[in-house]
């Protein structure tokens, strides 16, 4: 099967399986080649050599887009953007002139995977980092990509780039991030693609138990770990920002809306209004992907008009909790003109 963010094409990702009782199981077998400062895997960090491919719709790719912005790597790691609608073969560049990525010259991301491994059998996923000279995908290991952008690319980061993975907080960041991945990031998919009532009920319970714990955790602290934005926040935000628009109804995660969870809703707005987060979000592309591509869940392909997204810019009041978003660093500048997204409305 082929697709986009760790499931098959219906859910926007790579391979997956289901247990006998219908539990959704994500295939986490990715291309783990790394781009490092010392080039240990044969791919040294080099400005302009690689192209980060994302899709605005995909939550896993959203992480890479955020960290690239926060690190100020726009000029040294150019970005290609696949469109929100794809078929069973892979993401395509249907938003670009002539339907091709202007640098790689390909219509589908699948072509870059096949150049790496002919007939590549696993998910054609985003984010993916492509070696421009060869046209081959180097890595699609989304969890490692963001950590490496924050560490291996340090010689090319902007002045004032924040430390998203500070040494003294790493154990706690890892623990929180794994809980968030298991119960929230992947949990919404386990709800949406459950193949049986018991599997759905189990995933739904775990999702809401975790969201309740996060609501309690964030009631008295501005960020998930420490007093600055860390990798843990980068990993939670993409799911929260898609929650009311997609997961609440489309994936049947409907105990409450995000807007009905005071701490999480304020926390999500705080991040959305922080440079590097909300300026990576295109709600129209997010909805187009989920509601059009997932025809087994939404057979008509009708994309809902709502919800209103203008409230993402409303005051959140989280400054009263203290904390410094970028620690000793500074906010990133505005995104390049070619990468700007529509304002919420």
Judgement on whether residues 143 and 174 belong to the same structural domain of the protein: no
Whether 151 is in a domain gets the answer yes
Provide mean pLDDT across the span 197-218: 98
Judgement on whether residues 105 and 234 belong to the same structural domain of the protein: no
What pLDDT is attached to residue 18?
Answer: 57
The domain boundary, picked from 130, 156, 182, lies at: 156
pTM, full prediction = 0.94
pLDDT of 1 strictly over 50: no
% of the chain residues with pLDDT over 70: 93
What pLDDT is attached to residue 28?
Answer: 72
Judgement on whether residues 207 and 260 belong to the same structural domain of the protein: yes
Judgement on whether residues 227 and 106 belong to the same structural domain of the protein: no
d(CA 39, CA 49): 13
For residue 196, whether the previous peptide bond is cis, meaning omega lies within 30 degrees of 0, is no
pLDDT, one tens digit per residue, over 20-29 is 467 766 667 8
Judgement on whether residues 222 and 334 belong to the same structural domain of the protein: yes
Residue in the structure block whose two tokens are 């998930």 = 224
pLDDT of 6 strictly over 60: no
Whether 2 is in a domain gets the answer no
For residue 27, what are the contacts with CB-CB under 8 A and spacing of at least 6? 6, 14, 15, 16, 17, 122, 123
Judgement on whether residues 97 and 215 belong to the same structural domain of the protein: no
pLDDT, one tens digit per residue, over 228-270 is 999 999 999 999 999 999 999 999 999 999 999 999 999 999 9
- Nearest-10 crossing angle of helices 59-71, 142-151: 0
% of the chain residues with pLDDT over 90: 90
Residue in the structure block whose two tokens are 């790493």 = 170
The domain boundary, picked from 92, 127, 156, lies at: 156
Whether 162 is in a domain gets the answer no
Whether 335 is in a domain gets the answer yes
Judgement on whether residues 185 and 152 belong to the same structural domain of the protein: no
Judgement on whether residues 60 and 182 belong to the same structural domain of the protein: no
Judgement on whether residues 321 and 191 belong to the same structural domain of the protein: yes
d(CA 73, CA 91): 24
Judgement on whether residues 213 and 266 belong to the same structural domain of the protein: yes
Show contacts of 167-175: CB within 8 Å, 24+ apart.
169/225, 169/226, 169/230, 172/225, 172/226, 173/224, 173/225, 173/230, 173/231, 173/232
Whether 200 is in a domain gets the answer yes
Active site residues: 58, 189
What pLDDT is attached to residue 140?
Answer: 98
Judgement on whether residues 186 and 317 belong to the same structural domain of the protein: yes
Judgement on whether residues 123 and 70 belong to the same structural domain of the protein: yes
pLDDT, one tens digit per residue, over 31-89 is 999 999 999 999 999 999 999 999 999 999 999 999 999 999 999 999 999 999 988 88
Q: Which two tokens stand for residue 64?
A: 């890479």
Q: Are 78 and 101 in contact (CB under 8 A)?
A: no
Measure Cα distances from 124 to 14, 65, 113, 203, 337 in Å.
6, 18, 7, 25, 28
CATH at 149: 3.40.30.10
Provide mean pLDDT across the span 260-285: 98
Whether 9 is in a domain gets the answer no
pLDDT of 16 strictly over 70: no
What pLDDT is attached to residue 12?
Answer: 37
Range of the domain at 298: 168-339
Whether 74 is in a domain gets the answer yes
d(CA 263, CA 247): 19
The domain boundary, picked from 104, 121, 156, lies at: 156
- Count of domains for the chain: 2
CATH at 216: 1.20.1050.10
Whether 223 is in a domain gets the answer yes
What pLDDT is attached to residue 9?
Answer: 36
pLDDT of 202 strictly over 50: yes
């Amino acid at each position: 099967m082929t697709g986009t963010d760790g499931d098959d094409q219906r859910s926007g990702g790579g391979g997956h399986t289901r247990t006998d009782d219908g539990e959704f199981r994500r295939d986490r077998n990715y291309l783990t080649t790394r781009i490092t400062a010392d080039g240990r895997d044969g791919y040294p960090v080099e400005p302009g050599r690689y192209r980060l491919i994302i899709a605005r719709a995909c939550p896993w790719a959203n992480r890479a887009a955020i960290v690239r912005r926060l690190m100020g790597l726009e000029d040294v790691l150019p970005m290609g953007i696949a469109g929100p609608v794809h078929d069973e073969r892979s993401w395509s560049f249907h938003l670009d002139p002539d339907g091709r990525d202007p640098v790689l010259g390909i219509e589908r991301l699948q072509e870059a995977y096949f150049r790496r491994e002919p007939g590549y059998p696993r998910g054609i996923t985003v984010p993916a980092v492509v070696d421009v000279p060869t046209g081959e995908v180097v890595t699609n290991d989304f969890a490692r990509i963001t950590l490496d952008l924050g560490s291996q690319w340090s010689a090319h980061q902007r002045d004032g780039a924040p430390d998203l993975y500070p040494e003294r907080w790493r154990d706690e960041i890892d623990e929180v991030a794994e809980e968030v991945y298991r119960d929230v990031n992947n949990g919404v998919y386990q709800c949406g693609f459950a193949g049986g009532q018991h599997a759905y009920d189990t995933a739904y319970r775990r999702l809401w138990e975790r969201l309740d714990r996060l609501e309690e955790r964030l009631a008295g602290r501005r960020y998930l770990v420490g007093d600055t934005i860390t990798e843990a926040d980068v990993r939670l935000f993409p799911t929260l920002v898609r929650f009311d628009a997609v997961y609440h109804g489309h994936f049947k995660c409907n105990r409450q809306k995000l807007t009905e969870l005071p701490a999480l809703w304020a926390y999500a707005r705080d991040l959305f209004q922080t440079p590097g987060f909300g300026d990576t979000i295109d709600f129209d592309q997010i909805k187009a992907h989920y509601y059009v591509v997932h025809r087994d869940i939404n057979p008509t392909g009708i994309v809902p008009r709502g919800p209103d997204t203008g409230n993402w810019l409303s005051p959140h009041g989280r400054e009263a909790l203290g904390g410094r978003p970028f620690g000793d660093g500074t906010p990133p500048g505005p995104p390049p003109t070619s990468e700007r997204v529509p304002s919420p409305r």
